[in-house]
Amino acid sequence: MVDKPAGMTSHDVVDRVRRLSGQRRVGHAGTLDPLATGVLVLGLGRATRVLEYLIGHDKRYLATIRLGITTDTYDAEGRVVSQHEGSWPLREDVERVLARFRGEIEQRPPPFSAIKQGGERLYKKARRGEAVEAPPRRVVIRDLRLLEYDPPFLRVDVTCSKGTYIRSLAHDVGQALGTGAHLAELRRLASGPFTVEQAHTLDELEQAAREGRLAQLLLPPDAGLVDLPAISVTLEEARRLAHGQRIVSSAPADVKPPARAMYDGRLVAVVEYDAERGEWQPRKVFVSPRELD
């Protein structure tokens, strides 16, 4: 896990970690804009196969919203579109507006976003000056708390579902308040079970790489699968799964696939259950047969 610095894209961070680790296969679970800092979950080598299970996790952010200025990107890096010259809303007005955004809401992504439309990213169309508008989507704001209000700035703590744009939230809050607004700062505090306290800066990773202890900072692949139930398998069953073969076993009543197949405390595979055949089928395998010899 990396504590991403401002000014870098998520792809930039992946490239840096790829060079530090010597791993060609490096991916991330959930993009952060260059403006943003905080938790960026990476997968290296075999662990990249876990990332698809992490993308759907809830995220938690600390966001600073600047009232009074609207930009075309909905953040501080965009071109100013409009400015508010009136008075600032009262704190109780801000609290009342924020309450409207809690729960399941319909949100329209920003024009400058990576969503594809007609096979092309929206931000590419927007950069050419084309008028773009992404279709709205349903997202869930599980928690939205006002931490500070010092006009024209307000700081909020947000926990939200996959697909939520905090830039759009800032823009929409500004529209609802009648002042306009944009996202001034953003820090991701958590992504699913992973928190910023567990993350390492790029400087820390570089020093660890120089000292030959980078591997000590890595979490095991199953650290990202804590939401999946676990089943215990025997050594012989683990070997069969490692070969990509099914194992015959009933599914425990309290286990809903997919599940983690564990042998001796180690992740062997993510498995799906075939109820008709009474078998577990490996979906993703994380050990080779010789590692179990």
Helix spans in 119-256 (H) = 122-127, 166-177, 202-210, 235-242
Return the residue matching tokens 């927007």. Answer: 126
- State how beta strands 181-191 and 2-4 pair: unpaired
Which one from 3, 33, 172, 222 is the annotated catalytic residue?
33
- State how beta strands 26-28 and 153-160 pair: unpaired
* Residue 33 bears catalytic tag: yes
- Other CB atoms within a 10 A radius of the CB of residue 21 amount to 18
- State how beta strands 259-263 and 230-232 pair: parallel
Please, are residues 36 and 21 in contact by the beta-carbon 8 Å criterion?
Answer: no
Task: Name the residue among 76, 88, 95 with its Cα closest to residue 148.
Answer: 95
Q: Tell me which residues are annotated as active site.
A: 33
